[in-house]
Structure 1
Amino acid sequence: MCGIGGAWGGRAGERVRRMAPWLMHRGHEGVGYAYMKGGEIALGEPRDDAEGALVHTRYSTSGEYGVQLQPVLAKYRDLEIAVVFNGTVVNYKRLGVESPSFDGDALAKALAREIWERGVEQGVISVYSKIVGAATLLALTPWGLLAVRDPRGIRPLAYRLYGEGVAFSSETVALGGGQEVAPGLAVLYGKRMAFWKIPPGEAKICAMELVYFAHPASILGNRLVADVRRALGRALAEVETHNFDVVAYVPETARTAAEAFAEALGKPLVDAVVKNRFAGRVFITPPHLRNPGDAFRAVPQLVEGRRVALVDDSLIRGTNIRTVVRLLKEAGAREVHVRIASPPVKWPCFFGMDFQTRRELVAHKRDVEAIRAYIGADSLIYLPLEKFRQILGSACYGCFTGEYPVQINVEEAEVSTRGA
């Protein structure tokens, strides 16, 4: 998972630089750029007058942590391209390139080779016919900016036209508007103009994009993400069985669902848990740097002596919520009842999220009571899968159900996806 952006024409360099801060909720390990000037492609922060430019904000799901690995420059014969992508290619070692260092490296090299040998349109189709996983990409080519939305739409992509050019981004919020690119659509914009389709499967946006990852102000699946999260919060209130005094939430992505949950139950919403705004998103921080104890604080004046319903959007590893429950109880909360606006995550993700083994998931081989005991809550309720599906519709639910959009050998994928 990460954030990608690209622009062609009309101060392309400035456009991608301005996108970067609006993509860092998708990855904040580093920001990388590539640009084209005078027909030559280079890595580095682009000038305003670059013909085309790319930006990548990194959340590592393959390769080493803490290293800015994209954009990738790839050369095959006389063809050089720069590529950024969002997703995970599970079978990247089988794309036929020599000694790939990580999936993005293999994808870029395979794309350069196939475009050289088959042309742009057929080259892109050929690469995607080999991929297991999910990949939405942007590439600088000699003919212009290439944009490809994942054929199943698992990873998002949006665009916005300007009078003098075009910009693409993982999310509409980074463009200040725009529209979604259809799943399986490839676009070449620049010195050549072309549109073509990659044979898609059934469109299945990642459920975790809607629940947690995407910005609430973005449009995904023609819906405002915040509206989806409000619906999840209301549905969570429908299955409530306990009484409490106030509703709190784990900042920041759970706030929208918590507001709807509290409103539906007629309970006050309090900002009882605060987050260090400079801590970034703890969940997407590399493992050796994750320290929720430094990221969160509880406000005693809002919870002392009270029964607290604590809402979070999802429960993956359990480290954040376990810390927050402890902080609330240390702050004087009489009871802490955890409410999760999604079902239990029991399976790894091989499509762009960095939980790629079952053993790291708190719900793997634990029932709800065991999870409740692990996180220290007085009670724990998840949103039932049936209600979850009713709200999200056609989506990838692989991490909740173990049923993936493509056939995957889970044991083999758990070993191979992290790579070097």
Structure 2
Amino acid sequence: MSGIVIVGAGQAGFQLCASLRQAGFTGALTIVGEEPALPYSRPPLSKAYLAGEAARDALALRPVAFYAEHDVTALTSERVTSIDRAERLVRLQSGGIIAYDHLVLATGARNRPLLVPGANLPGVLQLRTIADADALMAEMGRARSVAIVGAGFIGLEFAAVCAAMGISVTVLEGAGRVLSRSVSAPMAAAIEVAHVSAGVIFVYDAVVSAVTGAARADGVATSDGRRFPADLVLVGIGVLPNGELATDAGLAVSSGIDVDAFLATSDPSISAIGDCVNVPSPFADGARVRIESVQNAVDGARCLAARLTGKPAPYAAVPWFWSDQGPLKLQIAGLGTPHNLAVVRGEPASGAFSTFCYRGGRLVGVESLNRAADHMIARRLLQSGASLAPEQAADPAFNLKALALNAGR
């Protein structure tokens, strides 16, 4: 193999470059990214970067010198427009053509748009890239009130930053609670209480019908006739996988680019990793899932690098996630949604507890709030498949650490 081309310069694409070189791959290696910046870390954008606690340069995944030192051709501000599978080449928007022996799609995802009147007014923003974060920071400097559409991770992280700055925050959520698709009801309730104590206002079962304003946004209207004034509107209603390039090339795509357990697409010369893929997971009973996390990007890239350098193994890393929301550090291990039993360990009122989620009597996910030790134990338990009964999880005297240490032995 003499040449690997990676489409997408996010966490997954970068990690694949690094892992391939670490694994001894010496062939040509090219990574193509649409943004002007070299690969950078996105999680701080909604937290430390917006709060002014992380400098722009500190976001870079590696210094500029890394790419020359590791013989990686990094193309920025460039977009792949099509794939010619027969000739094994990609065409660029600039007119260039790059041949490949193996192609990797790490195209990520994009923000889901808010499809209502006024959604394109100045003052209505989303957050995905460093350019988005810079635009938000500029708006936050003049905003006295913010409306956030969506009580997901991005919305809550942004709410925490705004509240800490003294900006009035109203969160409009279409479901009946925060993080309705991501965490259990006990965890959601505790997170809501913490945000409310910081001054955040939540409006549930809210169907946004329009963003109001003339020259720029001045509020958000809901279908029941209410209006919520705001100087700035952040839309955080989820993402859509970037699978169009794969679809146009005739690859199998469903709710993401379909890959097998080894991250190969329906074309053996093309693989896919990161937020854009739909992969069968042992942590979803073998069903296909699309996982949006840094962990999935990093572990998937390492798995693929091993296969491309002669050490194939199915992708079986435990999914895990985190979200920093002001003083709250939420860590999630496994895929706990859906579940039919949620067992609380610790005292939610203390601000530090965990929820153990069970599906069909089997532990499938653990959510930990300000309890990092529980999170690390949970990852080990889930990876090993160790048995933990609900009554054991709920018993504060039960030694979880000992069970985890013995797991898999």
State TM-score, norm by structure 2. 0.23
Higher helix proportion: 1
State TM-score, norm by structure 1. 0.23
